[in-house]
């Protein structure tokens, strides 16, 4: 019979090869997977490991970054700290003028000011502890609205007030409380030859780690009981969000008009911002390892498809003899490869998301798995599956039907 045939009306119609519907393609592509489940599992495992590694790395990095950004949002980025800077000569000690806090507080845009001054005394758990064993805890005099400026909170007890700030009372940073073995307010510590009663213990203060390792006493009590000279050593200020840059330019000249260079102005939130910006830099290496695992999984899929072609030559020859075209054979094996990779990709995404959730739960982090990582990872598996299935599919389509039937 020729390539053309005559119809009842005398017209000729071209013979058209059968077409595969999407349902037919899916059925034909999944037939090989259903018949060899263990091989499918092992081949998909390599893809799953690669995608799981990539999703977990990105998810853990994003979760850590999200925590830092939440802390920054809560703590704010509008706090600056003025401290003594470098003098005109190398090694020269400088101090802030006594009226520096009040002058900084008058700058337009400044909302609140808190002040600390270093006290040349040590703090110990009791008088029986050797004077040299201070545990790295500093004693600081405090005044103004330090607690509100730092946006700090007392975990237990109360902050110093106008009354307790005049008497031997002390508030401990949470690190200093741990080092001294103080667990609750009401206990006492030994400072400058006398006992001070602990009135409160602070919660962590990320923007002022020096406060966490300090024992804080009232300004008046420090001057009258501990020989404090009254010079401020750090002035913390909060300004309006839209005035931070302007206030920063004015602080040094306002705090010390005679020698502005003797005042150092820092942004304590810059460290957290930099950490948030660079979070995940180390993850690049782990992403590379995940990519290598994904490529290895792709090689495994390609190997599986080649073996499948060799084992199914009789099936290929039978389909060709029944009218299947080379294109039908190619799309069958490419679809099978795509399904195999897709199953591995879905399993890898689930494993990676679960690993991220476990890490976030253990580290008290928000669980974040970026959508771009999920879609990108799955797209990568489909690309790997397509590439891995092309050569076996082309090889299968080139098999001679008669030879395949004879050797199958």
Contact at 8 Å (CB) between 329 and 321? no
Q: Which residues contact 142 (CB under 8 A, 6 or more apart)?
A: 114, 115, 116, 117, 160, 165, 216, 217, 218, 219
Residue 387, pLDDT score: 86
List residues bridging with 112 in a β-sheet.
238
The position carrying tokens 């092309």 is: 390
Buried b (16+ CB within 10 A) or exposed e, 138-168: bbbbbbbbbbebbbbebebeebbeeebbbbb
Where would I find the beta strands (DSSP E) of 70-187?
79-84, 110-119, 123-124, 138-144, 154-157, 169-172
Residue 4, pLDDT score: 43
3-state secondary structure of 263: strand
Nearest to 299 by CA among 391, 388, 239: 388
Nearest to 191 by CA among 126, 132, 115, 136: 126
Residue 72, pLDDT score: 67
Alpha-carbon radius of gyration of the chain: 36
Contact at 8 Å (CB) between 121 and 191? yes
pTM for the predicted model, two decimal places = 0.61
User: What pLDDT tens digit does each residue of the chain (408 aa) get?
Assistant: 344 444 444 455 565 666 767 777 777 777 777 777 887 788 788 888 888 888 888 888 888 877 776 776 676 778 899 999 765 544 445 788 889 999 999 999 999 999 999 999 999 998 888 877 777 899 999 987 899 999 899 999 999 988 888 999 999 999 999 999 999 999 999 998 899 999 999 999 888 889 999 999 999 999 999 999 989 999 999 988 888 889 999 999 998 888 888 899 988 877 666 665 665 555 666 667 667 777 877 787 888 788 877 777 777 777 777 777 788 888 888 888 888 888 888 999 999 999 999 988 988 888 888 888 888 888 888 888 888 888 887 887 777 776 666 665
């Amino acid at each position: 019979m020729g390539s053309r045939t005559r119809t009842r009306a005398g017209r000729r119609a071209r013979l058209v090869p059968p077409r595969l519907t999407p349902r037919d393609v899916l059925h034909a592509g999944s037939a090989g997977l259903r018949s060899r489940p263990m091989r499918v599992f092992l081949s998909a495992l390599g893809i799953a490991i690669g995608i799981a590694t990539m999703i977990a790395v990105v998810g853990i990095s994003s979760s850590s970054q999200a925590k830092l950004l939440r802390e920054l949002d809560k703590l704010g980025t509008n706090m600056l700290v003025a401290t003594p800077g470098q003098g005109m000569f190398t090694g020269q000690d400088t101090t802030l003028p006594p009226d520096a806090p009040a002058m900084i507080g008058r700058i337009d845009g400044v909302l609140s000011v808190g002040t600390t001054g270093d006290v040349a005394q040590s703090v110990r758990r009791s008088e029986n502890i050797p004077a040299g064993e201070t545990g790295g805890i500093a004693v600081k005099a405090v005044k103004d609205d330090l607690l509100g400026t730092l946006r700090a909170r007392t975990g237990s007890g109360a902050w110093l007030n106008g009354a307790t700030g005049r008497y031997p009372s002390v508030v401990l940073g949470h690190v200093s409380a741990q080092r001294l073995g103080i667990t609750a307010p009401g206990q006492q510590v030994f400072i400058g030859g006398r006992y001070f009663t602990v009135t409160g213990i602070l919660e962590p203060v990320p923007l002022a780690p020096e406060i966490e390792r300090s024992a804080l006493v009232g300004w008046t009590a420090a001057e009258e009981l501990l020989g404090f000279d009254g010079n401020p050593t750090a002035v913390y200020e909060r300004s309006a969000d839209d005035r931070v840059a302007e206030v920063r330019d004015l602080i040094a000249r306002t705090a010390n008009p005679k020698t502005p260079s003797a005042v150092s102005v820092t942004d304590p939130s810059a460290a957290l911002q930099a950490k948030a910006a660079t979070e995940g830099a180390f993850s690049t290496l782990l992403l590379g390892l995940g990519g290598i695992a994904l490529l290895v999984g792709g090689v495994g899929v390609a190997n599986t498809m080649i073996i499948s072609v060799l084992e199914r030559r009789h099936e290929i020859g039978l389909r060709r003899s029944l009218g299947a075209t080379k294109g039908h054979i190619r799309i069958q094996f490419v679809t099978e490869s795509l399904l195999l990779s897709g199953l591995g990709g879905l399993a890898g995404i689930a494993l990676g998301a679960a690993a991220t959730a476990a890490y976030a739960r253990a580290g008290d982090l928000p669980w974040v798995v970026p959508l771009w990582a999920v879609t990108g990872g799955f797209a990568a598996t489909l690309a790997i599956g397509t590439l891995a299935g092309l050569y076996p599919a082309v090889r299968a389509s080139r098999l001679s039907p008669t030879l395949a039937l004879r050797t199958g």
